[in-house]
């Protein structure tokens, strides 16, 4: 186990800035997920840590030691590539053994090490095969085994599940956390899949355009996305986003949806009157009786059963689309008129122009107090 510190990293390709003054700390034994769209600079960042590309500015510290000018082979990290990057002219055994041969271990030690990790990843029966003869899943496990075999204190995983089929990805998503925990290494894991990020990360760093936009635990990011974009990236079905203008009435802040007031208890008076976007997770909305307080009339358009939940698309009176999610198996309307209620405690407001999450009242009040 070891720590990783990145200090003011800048990387440019020609005139394009790929990493823009990026600073990041990964704690000892932590699993940090780098999440973001393609082109965000995640892979570049990982390669920079591995030492196969150099930053234009900034320092890379591994275990507190400045490794910026140290060659890749002396950094002692393990890495799995998105495209596997297996050595096509070597057997799976030799592929996995490559980090051990570099240390000049004895033949027996190497064989034992390879066998152990191969068994763990269930590829011990294909060790004599060349990559060409391996299935995609086996290739992926071989690449993973190669990264794990030397028990590196820092493990870099570049979207290792990207190029495998859905079934395998599902299996591995369950298997990987256990595997990584057993390894005990500090892990930086790159992915574009929010479920993978939520399942694997102690913390998630959301990257876009060469910067870290938000960093926090999966819950923090899910429950308080720093801006609309991040809110949209996390969550399936995606978050409902509705243009609203908060108003004040009876000491409360509320927004009107189809002329029905939805109270936003968490927000203070500072948001009143400014154009906002209301973010509602589909699970923050539920179907209710017409008589229930705060019931909003809608028309149910379609229903999609997913594995563990049922998602319903409804239209408000003004024709705005709303996604509603409920646990699978619970009753709900399938078509026609219905009513929904919104849990105002789970709603968030974004500034319409900047897209940034607006601070909740308690925080805002605190800040106002400090300023006063």
**Residue ranges that bind another protein, judged by CB under 8 A:** 47, 50-52, 54, 71-79, 81, 83, 85-89, 98-99, 101-103, 146, 150
State the Cα–Cα distance between residues 206 and 114, nearest whole angstrom: 35
Work out how close the CB of 284 gets to another protein at its nearest, in angstroms, rounded to a whole number.
43
When the beta carbons of 21 and 73 are compared against another protein, the nearer one is: 73
State the Cα–Cα distance between residues 263 and 351, nearest whole angstrom: 18
Work out how close the CB of 85 gets to another protein at its nearest, in angstroms, rounded to a whole number.
4
Helix H, strand E, coil C: the string for the chain is: CCCEEEEEEEEEECCEEEEEEEEEEECCCCEEEEECCCCCCHHHHHHHHHCCCCCCEEEEEECCEECCCCCHHHCCEEEECCCCCCCCCCCHHHHHHHHHHCCCCCHHHHHHHHHHHHHHCCCHHHCCCCHHHCCHHHHHHHHHHHHHCCCCCEEEEECCCCCCCHHHHHHHHHHHHHHHHHHCCEEEEEECCHHHHHHHCCEEEEEECCEEEEEECHHHHHHCCCEHHHHHHCCCCCCEEEEECCEEECCEEEEEECCEEEECCCCCHHHCCCCEEEEECHHHEEEECCCCCCCEEEEEEEEEECCCEEEEEEEECCCCEEEEEEECCCCCCCCEEEEEEECHHHCEEEECCCCEECCCHHHHHHHHHHHC
Work out how close the CB of 141 gets to another protein at its nearest, in angstroms, rounded to a whole number.
15
When the beta carbons of 55 and 344 are compared against another protein, the nearer one is: 55
When the beta carbons of 154 and 233 are compared against another protein, the nearer one is: 154
Work out how close the CB of 206 gets to another protein at its nearest, in angstroms, rounded to a whole number.
25
Residue with tokens 């699970």, as numbered in its chain: 283
Work out how close the CB of 7 gets to another protein at its nearest, in angstroms, rounded to a whole number.
20
When the beta carbons of 87 and 170 are compared against another protein, the nearer one is: 87
When the beta carbons of 105 and 286 are compared against another protein, the nearer one is: 105
Residues paired with 342 in a beta bridge: 285
Work out how close the CB of 287 gets to another protein at its nearest, in angstroms, rounded to a whole number.
50
Cα–Cα distances in Å, from 55 out to 49, 51, 68, 215? Answer: 9, 9, 8, 22
Work out how close the CB of 126 gets to another protein at its nearest, in angstroms, rounded to a whole number.
19
When the beta carbons of 146 and 213 are compared against another protein, the nearer one is: 146
Work out how close the CB of 369 gets to another protein at its nearest, in angstroms, rounded to a whole number.
51
Work out how close the CB of 71 gets to another protein at its nearest, in angstroms, rounded to a whole number.
7
When the beta carbons of 138 and 310 are compared against another protein, the nearer one is: 138
When the beta carbons of 97 and 198 are compared against another protein, the nearer one is: 97
When the beta carbons of 71 and 289 are compared against another protein, the nearer one is: 71
């Amino acid at each position: 186990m070891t720590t990783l510190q990145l200090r003011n990293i800048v990387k440019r390709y020609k005139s394009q800035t790929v990493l823009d003054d990026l600073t990041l700390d990964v704690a000892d034994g932590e699993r940090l997920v780098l999440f973001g769209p393609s082109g965000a600079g995640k892979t570049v960042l990982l390669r920079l840590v591995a030492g196969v590309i150099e930053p234009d500015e900034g320092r890379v510290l591994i275990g507190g030691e400045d490794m910026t000018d140290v060659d890749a082979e002396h950094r002692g990290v393990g890495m799995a590539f998105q495209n596997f990057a297996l050595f096509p002219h070597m057997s799976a055994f030799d592929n996995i053994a490559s980090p051990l041969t570099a240390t000049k271990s004895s033949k027996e030690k190497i064989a034992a090490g390879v066998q152990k990790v191969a068994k763990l990843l269930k590829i011990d029966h294909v060790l004599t095969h060349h990559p060409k003869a391996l299935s995609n899943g086996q290739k992926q496990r071989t690449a993973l085994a190669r990264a794990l075999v030397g028990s590196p204190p820092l493990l870099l995983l570049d979207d290792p599940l990207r190029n495998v089929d859905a079934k395998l990805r599902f299996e591995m998503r369950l298997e990987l956390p256990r595997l990584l925990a057993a390894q005990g290494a500090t892990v930086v894991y790159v992915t574009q899949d929010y479920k993978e990020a939520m399942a694997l990360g102690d913390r998630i760093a959301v990257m876009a355009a060469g910067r870290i936009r938000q960093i926090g635990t999966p819950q923090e990011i899910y429950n308080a996305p720093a801006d609309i974009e991040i809110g949209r990236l996390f969550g399936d079905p995606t978050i409902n986003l509705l243009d609203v203008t908060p108003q004040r009435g009876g000491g409360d802040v509320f927004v009107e949806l189809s002329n029905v007031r939805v109270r936003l208890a968490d927000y203070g008076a500072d948001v009143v009157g400014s154009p906002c976007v209301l973010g509602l997770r589909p699970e923050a909305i539920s179907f209710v009786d017409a008589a229930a307080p705060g019931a909003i009339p809608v028309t149910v358009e379609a229903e999609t059963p997913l594995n563990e939940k049922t998602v319903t698309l409804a239209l408000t009176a003004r024709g705005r689309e709303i996604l509603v999610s409920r646990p699978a198996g619970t009753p709900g309307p399938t078509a026609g008129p219905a009513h929904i209620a919104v849990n105002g405690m789970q709603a968030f407001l974004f500034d319409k122009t900047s897209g940034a999450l607006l601070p909740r009242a308690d925080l805002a009040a605190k800040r106002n107090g400090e300023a006063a």
